[in-house]
Structure 1
Amino acid sequence: MEKVTRILRESDVAELLDMQQCIDVMDRTLREVWAGQTVNLQRDMIPQPAGNMFAIMGSSLTAQQRAGCKVIVFPGQQAKMAGSSQGIIPIFDTQTGRLLAIVDGEGVTGVRTAATSAAATRALAREDAQTLAILGAGRIGRLHVQAICAVRAIKKLYVWDIAEAATAGCCDWAQKEFGLETVRCQTAQQAVVDADIICTVTQASEPVVRGEWLKPGAHINAVGACAPQVREVDTATIQRSSVFVDWAEAALRDTGDLVLPIREGAFTPDSLAGEIGAVLAGQLPGRRSRDEITLFESVGIAVEDLAAAQLVYERAQQQNRGALFTW
């Protein structure tokens, strides 16, 4: 019997992975994570030369009868300079065992990361939030601008990056694409102090956000710290915030934003407000007051990649996109 697999390249993903649809899929997926309707394996990483890391992230969507795995090399500094970050997400039908598709991993990762932050923002940020701070003005930062603007009526954008050219480029792009008033910030503090919503998408190893800078009622999406020895927000930020996570098991192992305060004795796992999926499902309160500071710690989990890749595959099937490979 012939076996047919649909191959979806980065250009296919860029055209098929709609941000608003992906936000809704991440909302559903995070609910399923909390409800135990998915299976996630912890990220396994194998060190490679020049600081590269080979990573394997497996998961299963029970209701959709899909299983898959993101296989990717997270680039070290030399590979980053070469623009190298490559990976794939194979999707299997768990009933028949068929390999349905192989989807470009890099394109999926960026959109689903921003979409996950937006799903959390929709649940936790004040409804009247109008000012957004982006710390880290690269591709993921721009995707966060797009995603947050989809769930809140943002009027003003503060941007900070260690590279001034990246800050300027992001501001110019946001003005043109979304009509936002933009502020090119010289420091992270300047970006944060007046922001209703803050997204940290840097590659920092030490905190770029300090708790004393946060205004009452702020919401933070902490995205960039995906290893236990690095962090983007300081201990005071964690202590001032109600902290929600995508998946507690991974967040407490893999993000220094939480691991380091726990090691200091300044925070405990029991201090977590809960998994964001419980809030989205209406089973756990989110924001309790206008002045409460909320924080979503996004470590990034395998099932988010699989769910976003499945969305790409479904739309590709409808539009007959991609290349068909016959085994």
Structure 2
Amino acid sequence: MTLRIIDQPVVRQLLTMPVCIDLMEQAMQQTAQGETLQPPRWIMRLPGDRGRGFGLMPGAMKEPAGFGAKLTAVYPENGAKGLQSHRGIIALFDTETGAPVAIVHGGEVTAIRTAAASALATRLLARPDASDLAILGYGEQALQHLKAMAAVRTLSRVRVWGRSQERAEHFVREGRALVDCAIEVSPSVEAAVSGASLICTVTGAAEPVLAGRMISPGAHLNVVGSSVAAAREIDVDAVARSRFFVDYKPSTLLQGGEFLAAKREGRVSDDHILGEIGEILIGRKTGRQTADEITIYKSLGIPAEDLVCAHFLYTAATEHGLGASVDFS
């Protein structure tokens, strides 16, 4: 038995955004159909904290058949150093023998698949004519979301906001190489989202940076940056005003900070979660109903997303002889 090691360059070569969006569709459908096992994510705060944590996300899928887990260290300060904030591995196991067959660069998969899931949600929930994009945050996920939004909508303008003017300007320079439209830095959150039909929040904020009163009718939001119950990027008004969709309802009820805050304040109940993205895909739930309503996709990330990517990468890398292969009998 051999173990294939799939590093960052191989992930980048094989896991293109269009490919990953298709994989997210597969993962979301299986989740909605009950064909996955996805226990709650386990997170441990590291000594000294500073927002650092270590997470374990185990899971199993029916098709492609496989099981495994992602082990991830989260270091929020890494972005300022030019490093990924999520660093770890995805371990994939064979269902016939139980042997580990692949170790995949977890940070790169997370970066791409998170944005690809937002692209899928945008394709399903945003207005067909949505083209004015606001991105709150300027790190790795900001660039990935720029690529993801451009894959599902024709962008006419992009505005970015972040606390560091220098880093926001650096994002603009990088972004201009990715999309053929105007990209500019906004001086405030409100200026960035004014009139925007697409909004992606990809910050490390613990408290809301975006208020519901700032959001224009008809906008679609991908709320991505917060992944623990204690953190939230948008306020309770934004949650309450929206048609609210998620990747996986059980995880949102445990760790979706924005939703849980609105629930604590009595603004919403569990029924405010109208469905999972996979349920829209299989026709069980309805997404956007009118042009003027605000839709939100709350992303926490689920093991099925990592496993379907890991299996694709393992198969493709084996076929093309990419990555390193070691004996692991």
User: Smaller-chain TM-score range?
Assistant: over 0.9
Answer yes or no: is the 8 Å Cα contact 1:211–1:240 preserved in 2.
yes
Residue 21 (str. 1) matches residue 22 (str. 2):
no
- Quick one: distance in 2 between partners of 1:155 and 1:319? 38
SS in 2 for 1:176: coil
- Quick one: distance in 1 between partners of 2:304 and 2:293? 30
**Structure 1 counterpart of 2:233, which letter?**
E
Give the equivalent residue in structure 2 for 1:66: 66
Residue 104 (str. 1) matches residue 113 (str. 2):
no
Identity of aligned residues (%): 36
Structure 1: runs of 5+ lacking an equivalent: none
TM superposition score normalised by structure 2: 0.95
Give the equivalent residue in structure 2 for 1:7: 5
Answer yes or no: is the 8 Å Cα contact 2:90–2:105 preserved in 1.
yes
SS in 2 for 1:288: coil
Deviation at 1:79, TM superposition (A): 9.5
- Quick one: distance in 2 between partners of 1:183 and 1:326? 50
Give the equivalent residue in structure 1 for 2:307: 306
Answer yes or no: is the 8 Å Cα contact 1:174–1:180 preserved in 2.
no
Deviation at 1:290, TM superposition (A): 0.6
Give the equivalent residue in structure 1 for 2:155: 154
Give the equivalent residue in structure 2 for 1:50: 48
Q: How does 1:229-240 map to 2 (within 5 A)?
A: 229-240=230-241
SS in 2 for 1:311: helix
- Quick one: distance in 2 between partners of 1:225 and 1:47? 15
**Structure 1 counterpart of 2:208, which letter?**
P
SS in 1 for 2:11: helix
Give the equivalent residue in structure 1 for 2:278: 277
- Quick one: distance in 2 between partners of 1:256 and 1:153? 31
Deviation at 1:174, TM superposition (A): 2.0
RMSD: 1.5
**Structure 2 counterpart of 1:57, which letter?**
M
- Quick one: distance in 2 between partners of 1:76 and 1:141? 14
- Give the count of matched residue pairs: 325
Deviation at 1:62, TM superposition (A): 1.1
SS in 1 for 2:232: coil
- Quick one: distance in 2 between partners of 1:296 and 1:167? 24
**Structure 1 counterpart of 2:66, which letter?**
R
User: After alignment, is 69-78 or 104-113 more displaced?
Assistant: 69-78
- Quick one: distance in 1 between partners of 2:83 and 2:176? 26
SS in 2 for 1:49: coil
Answer yes or no: is the 8 Å Cα contact 1:65–1:95 preserved in 2.
no
**Structure 1 counterpart of 2:59, which letter?**
S
TM superposition score normalised by structure 1: 0.96
Deviation at 1:78, TM superposition (A): 7.5
**Structure 2 counterpart of 1:15, which letter?**
Q
1:289-309 CA distance string (max 9 Å, x none): 111110000011111111122
Answer yes or no: is the 8 Å Cα contact 1:112–1:305 preserved in 2.
yes
User: After alignment, is 70-79 or 240-249 more displaced?
Assistant: 70-79
Deviation at 1:193, TM superposition (A): 1.4
Answer yes or no: is the 8 Å Cα contact 2:132–2:158 preserved in 1.
yes
Q: How does 1:123-202 map to 2 (within 5 A)?
A: 123-202=124-203
Deviation at 1:162, TM superposition (A): 1.0
Answer yes or no: is the 8 Å Cα contact 1:88–1:104 preserved in 2.
yes
Structure 2: runs of 5+ lacking an equivalent: none
SS in 1 for 2:217: coil
**Structure 2 counterpart of 1:253, which letter?**
L
